[in-house]
Structure 1
Amino acid sequence: MDIKTASALNRLRLVSAPEAVSFLLLLICSVLKRTTDFNAVPVMGMVHGVLFVLYVALWAWAWFRAKWPLGRAALYLLLSVLPTGGFFAERMLRREAEDSVIAARARKELKDVGRGAVEA
């Protein structure tokens, strides 16, 4: 995985948890609006809307860079519309990034070993 792809995945990962938190807070504010005089829905709606649009934009860029299959891309998009899905997306993206780093290191070591064998 190249640095631009890893960066795209990391950006998506970093926005997924705040997007999930804003979604949960928006749901809580909606309940409070209907049960009390407290109305923070306009503010939380704006915050969540901005984070959701940012998530979708970063999702599209990560899909383009990582060349995910349609199923995986659809899963990450589906997780953005579930109230706690962003937490699962963050965990999956972190694992995917860690696996790609391990694979890149293994490829580098194999390449280095191959060079050593040729030089000897």
Structure 2
Amino acid sequence: MSKPSATTPTRLFRTVAIAEAITWTGLLLGMFLKYVTETTELGVRVFGMLHGVVFVAYVVTAVVLWVDRRWSAGRGLLTLLAAIPPLATLPLEWWAVRKGWLGDAWRLPAGTTRSLPDRCVGWMIANPLRGLAMGAVAVGGLTALALLVGPPTS
């Protein structure tokens, strides 16, 4: 029997969705300072990188929840797409909680399912510290890939 995770799907999604919105706000402020007031580009440099990392963390979180909660393709894609417009993760998080998309318990215990995505997510839930480390590696790898591709041109 595995230990239950202290982090619920609702708590995890809420935390990452709010962080994504906060970093979007910082990036928007940085863009205002860079392009409108032409005073500094420091905000874009700092919040651009930070927002990129949190954006990838949001995507990883959304995929984990998509698998665990058995969301439809439409719900999963809507959740992913909410990270693109500024601050859209906030109303989506509110809507998801209101409609019961997230839940207060994880569905997938480790080793009880057959599909590879279910097994991977179940393992992460059963081993939260290792799952967090695995998620951090995924975020780091995807962020490194984005850096190799290069920043958006200004």
Q: Give yes or no for TM over 0.5.
A: yes
SS in 1 for 2:82: helix
**Aligned residue number for residue 93 of structure 1:** 96
Considering only CA atoms, is the larger Rg found in Structure 1 or Structure 2?
Answer: 1
Moved more, 75-84 or 52-61: 75-84
Report percent identity of matched pairs.
31
Counterpart AA for 2:50: V
**Aligned residue number for residue 62 of structure 2:** 59
Indicate if the aligned counterparts of 1:80 and 1:86 stay in contact, CA closer than 8 A.
yes
Counterpart AA for 2:46: V
State the number of aligned residues.
98
- Per-residue CA deviation, residues 40-72 of structure 1 (Å, 9 max, x unaligned), is 211101110111011000000000000000111
Gaps of 5+ in 2: 105-154
Indicate if the aligned counterparts of 1:52 and 1:80 stay in contact, CA closer than 8 A.
yes
Gaps of 5+ in 1: 102-120
Whether 2:4 is the aligned partner of 1:37: answer no
CA separation of 1:45 and 1:79: change in aligned 2, threshold 3 A: same
4+ aligned runs moved over 3 Å, structure 1: 96-101
2: CA distance, partners of 1:18 / 1:57: 14
- Per-residue CA deviation, residues 14-54 of structure 1 (Å, 9 max, x unaligned), is 11012012112202211211222222211101110111011
Which of the pair has the greater relative contact order for Cα pairs under 8 Å at 6+ separation? Answer: 1
Indicate if the aligned counterparts of 1:13 and 1:93 stay in contact, CA closer than 8 A.
no
1: CA distance, partners of 2:13 / 2:28: 22
Residue 97 of structure 1: how far off its partner (Å): 4.4
Indicate if the aligned counterparts of 1:12 and 1:59 stay in contact, CA closer than 8 A.
yes
Residue 7 of structure 1: how far off its partner (Å): 2.2
Moved more, 49-58 or 19-28: 19-28
TM-score (norm 2): 0.56
Indicate if the aligned counterparts of 1:9 and 1:97 stay in contact, CA closer than 8 A.
no
2: CA distance, partners of 1:95 / 1:8: 14
**Aligned residue number for residue 8 of structure 1:** 9
**Aligned residue number for residue 24 of structure 1:** 25
